[in-house]
């Protein structure tokens, strides 16, 4: 019951925090900019992302029957991967937005048009669909002939692979390849953007201008570091008993705690949102 109340409080805070970000950006016309469009999209994503796992976790805390159906488990993994992958590309789009704003400010409005922003968000979702459909197909066509007790707080690829009673090599290779596309490619795009951004900031003559530019980017960098660091450990690191235990705890971090921290990071470190 104590865990139920703690996780319920976390879920409510995620809904309220991200809901407030969406409400503020939607109602305040001064925040009608590409940067806040991406931030609003991220807040929507976080609400759906946590809703894939947290309601079921809450039910498991109070219910005698802690089972999940075969189809339900497949759907849960698919939406975790789909929404998590969308977030990776969305964070890359936000880095590109900051790159254009700082490195090419005179052409910012011309480049970051509404059509491009909308295209980046929809493209982030479209790229993920076929990749994760193939991953789910490979995973759930494996035979599960022994224990069906999932050693995790929710359905995820590493604990499901542990239950398979056949060679999982192809599924593991696909998981690493998909992670390289969905995690590592956007990460390098973000890295390339920030190399250019930091280079441009250091060339600014005004100390105040440098501080303002760093403040604009710092919130995004914190979120990227937390999300990518935890997701990489779960999906890319080699599997062993020790890493599975670590993955179990870290999976809670990036699916539940990061969505709770995001509104705090963006609002407390952002003068316009606070205003």
Q: What is the pTM of this model?
A: 0.88
Split into its structural domains, the chain has a count of: 1
Give the residue from 88, 83, 18, 56 showing the smallest Cα distance to 265: 18
Each residue's pLDDT tens digit, 38-96: 999 999 999 999 999 999 999 999 988 889 999 999 999 999 999 988 988 999 999 99
For 71-127, give the DSSP string. HHHHHHHHHHHHHHHHHHHHHHHHHHHHHHHHHSGGGHHHHS-HHHHHHHHHHHHHH
Each residue's pLDDT tens digit, 118-174: 999 999 899 888 889 999 999 999 998 877 888 888 998 888 988 988 888 898 888
CATH assignment at residue 91 = 1.20.1070.10
**Amino acid 198: pLDDT:** 86
- Of 11-20, 111-120, 151-160, 248-257, the range with the lowest mean pLDDT is 248-257
**Amino acid 117: pLDDT:** 94
pLDDT band at 16 (very low <50, low <70, confident <90, very high): very high
Distance, CA of 69 to CA of 56 (rounded, Å): 12
Q: How far apart are the first and last CA of the chain?
A: 38
Look up the domain containing 26 and give its range: 2-274
**Amino acid 220: pLDDT:** 76
Find how far residue 231's CA is from the centre of its chain: 8
Residue 70 has a CB neighbour count (10 Å cut-off) of 11
Mean pLDDT, residues 184-200: 88
């Amino acid at each position: 019951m104590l865990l139920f109340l703690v996780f319920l409080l976390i879920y409510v805070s995620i809904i309220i925090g991200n809901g407030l970000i969406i409400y503020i950006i939607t109602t305040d016309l001064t925040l009608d900019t590409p940067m806040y469009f991406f931030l609003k999209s991220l807040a929507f994503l976080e609400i759906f992302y946590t809703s894939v796992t947290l309601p079921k976790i809450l039910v498991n805390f109070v219910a005698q029957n802690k089972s999940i159906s075969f189809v339900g488990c497949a759907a849960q993994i698919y939406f975790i991967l789909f929404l998590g992958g969308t977030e990776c590309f969305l964070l890359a789009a936000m880095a590109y937005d900051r790159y254009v704003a700082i490195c090419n400010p005179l052409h910012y409005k011309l480049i970051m048009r509404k059509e491009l922003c909308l295209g980046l968000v929809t493209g982030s979702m479209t790229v993920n669909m076929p990749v994760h459909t193939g991953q789910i197909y490979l995973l759930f066509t494996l035979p599960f002939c022994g224990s069906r007790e999932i050693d995790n707080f929710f359905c995820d690829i590493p604990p499901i692979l542990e239950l398979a009673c056949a060679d999982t090599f192809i599924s593991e290779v696909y998981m690493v390849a998909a992670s390289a596309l969905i995690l590592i490619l956007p990460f390098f795009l973000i890295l390339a953007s920030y190399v250019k951004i930091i280079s441009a900031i250091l060339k600014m003559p005004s100390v105040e201008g440098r501080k303002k530019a760093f403040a604009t980017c710092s919130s995004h960098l914190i979120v990227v570091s937390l999300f990518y660091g935890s997701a990489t450990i779960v999906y890319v690191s080699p599997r062993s008993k020790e890493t599975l235990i670590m993955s179990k705890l870290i999976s809670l971090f990036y699916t539940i705690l990061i969505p709770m921290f995001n509104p705090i990071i963006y609002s407390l470190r952002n003068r316009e949102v606070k205003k």
